[in-house]
């Protein structure tokens, strides 16, 4: 088996941040002065950098890059998803996945105002509409049924050179491990990522990590249908296990 699937790294990060919160909680019990009047209440934090750092950076990376979860500082992703999708995802999270719901209305800790500051800030800081001038990217959500067999062929043509013939990953340089990629067909990886997020990654790439967007580096960008088929092929690798939260969409 190859490297630890990336999604499990996200899980580790989550556990770590929970532990930190617990530590902060303890320090005030053990004789540290309690919050004085100069301490800002959590729901009064209204600046984007602080909100992002405190709530998102652990998984999506400092500055929206190089985190375990999809890069948000990616103009292609932002153009395709749009502010409304981002606002909604922060509000409700991704049920069954590792993206928490943040709005108080969904059991999280952020006010609607804070969620809006986050979604607006992400667009203002990190989008670059000029980069896609004259280009029509594939739609954010799938518009048709995928075909796993066709998807396997499209995968072989566009993805296998990096992710391995069957998506099992590549060991990278035998000495340094440079260029090593984990499996994207491992059932425990696929259990924790939605088809939508797989689609977002295939469309927008991971420019921070060296994965190209849907245009790849070739003259033949992937079509909407090819992307949908590739996701259907990846999804066909999920193994349903009773008692496990599984994405079916
Ligand atoms: C515990 C880790 C974690 C934290 C913290 C987190 N995310 Fe996520 N986020 C994820 C994962 C994992 C996904 C992919 C979920 C899926 O399977 O669809 C995701 C998905 C998303 C998406 C949708 C991506 C897509 O495919 O369209 C957006 C937007 C997003 N997160 C924004 C944020 C913002 C903004 C914050 C801070 C308020 C945040 N996330 C905090 C892990 C996290
Ligand atoms: C030029 C090499 C390259 C090509 C071509 C490529 N990828 Fe990637 N891909 C990467 C790299 C590098 C990463 C980041 C790896 C990481 O974060 O562990 C990545 C990440 C991913 C991820 C996210 C993995 C995770 O940890 O969440 C998925 C899913 C993925 N690629 C699927 C595809 C599919 C499907 C295709 C074909 C349409 C494709 N990739 C084409 C290099 C490539």
- List of residues 6+ apart from 16 with CB closer than 8 A: 58
> What CA–CA distance (Å, rounded) separates 133 from 143?
23
Q: Is 79 in the pocket of ligand 2 (CB under 6 A)?
A: no
Cβ neighbours of 134 (radius 10 Å): 5
Say if residue 174 is exposed, middle or buried (CB neighbours under 10 Å; 0-12, 13-18, 19+).
exposed
Q: Provide the residue-wise pLDDT of the chain in tens; the chain has 249 residues.
A: 444 455 555 555 555 544 444 444 444 445 566 656 678 899 999 999 999 999 999 999 999 999 999 999 999 999 999 999 999 999 999 988 899 999 999 999 999 999 999 999 999 999 998 999 999 999 999 999 999 999 999 999 999 999 999 999 999 889 998 889 999 999 999 999 999 999 999 999 999 999 999 998 666 899 999 999 999 999 999 986 545 555 555
CA of 144 to the centre of ligand 1 (A): 25
User: Quick one: tokens of 71?
Assistant: 């890069």
8 A C-beta contact, residue 16 and residue 58: yes
CA of 36 to the centre of ligand 1 (A): 33
Closest ligand by atom to 185 CA: 2
Closest ligand by atom to 80 CA: 1
Cβ neighbours of 148 (radius 10 Å): 16
Q: Which atom of ligand 1 is nearest to the CA of 122?
A: 35
Nearest CA among 90, 110, 111, 112 for reference residue 101: 90
Q: Which atom of ligand 2 is nearest to the CA of 159?
A: 37
Alpha-carbon distances of 130 from 127, 194, 200, 206, 208, rounded to whole Å: 9, 29, 20, 19, 19
Q: Is 86 in the pocket of ligand 1 (CB under 6 A)?
A: yes
User: Quick one: tokens of 191?
Assistant: 């259990």
Q: Which atom of ligand 1 is nearest to the CA of 119?
A: 35
Nearest CA among 69, 225, 233 for reference residue 138: 225
Q: Is 199 in the pocket of ligand 2 (CB under 6 A)?
A: no
Specify the residue with its C-alpha closest to ligand 1, atom 17: 193
CA of 179 to the centre of ligand 1 (A): 25
Taking the mean position of all CA atoms in its chain, how far away is CA 37?
A: 37
């Amino acid at each position: 088996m190859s490297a630890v699937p990336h999604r499990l790294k996200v899980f580790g990060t989550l556990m770590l941040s929970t532990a930190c919160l617990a530590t902060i909680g303890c320090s005030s019990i053990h004789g540290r002065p309690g919050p004085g009047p100069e301490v800002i209440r959590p729901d009064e934090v209204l600046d984007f950098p602080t909100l992002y750092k405190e709530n998102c950076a652990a998984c999506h990376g400092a500055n929206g890059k190089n985190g375990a979860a999809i890069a948000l500082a990616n103009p292609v992703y932002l153009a395709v998803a749009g502010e409304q999708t981002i606002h909604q995802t922060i509000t409700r999270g991704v049920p069954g996945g590792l993206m928490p719901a943040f709005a108080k209305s969904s059991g999280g800790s952020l006010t609607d105002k804070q969620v809006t500051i986050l979604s607006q800030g992400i667009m203002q800081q990190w989008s670059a509409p000029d980069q896609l001038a004259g280009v029509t990217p594939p739609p954010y959500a799938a518009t048709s049924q995928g075909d796993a067999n066709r998807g396997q062929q499209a995968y072989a043509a566009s993805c296998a050179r990096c992710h391995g013939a069957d998506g099992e990953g590549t060991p990278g340089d035998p000495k340094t491990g440079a260029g090593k990629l984990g499996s994207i067909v491992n059932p425990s990886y696929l259990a924790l990522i939605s088809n939508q997020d797989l689609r977002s990654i295939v469309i927008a790439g991971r420019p921070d990590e060296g994965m190209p967007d849907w245009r790849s580096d070739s003259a033949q960008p992937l079509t909407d249908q090819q992307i949908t088929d590739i996701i259907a092929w990846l999804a066909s690798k999920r193994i349903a296990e009773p008692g496990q939260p599984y994405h079916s969409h």
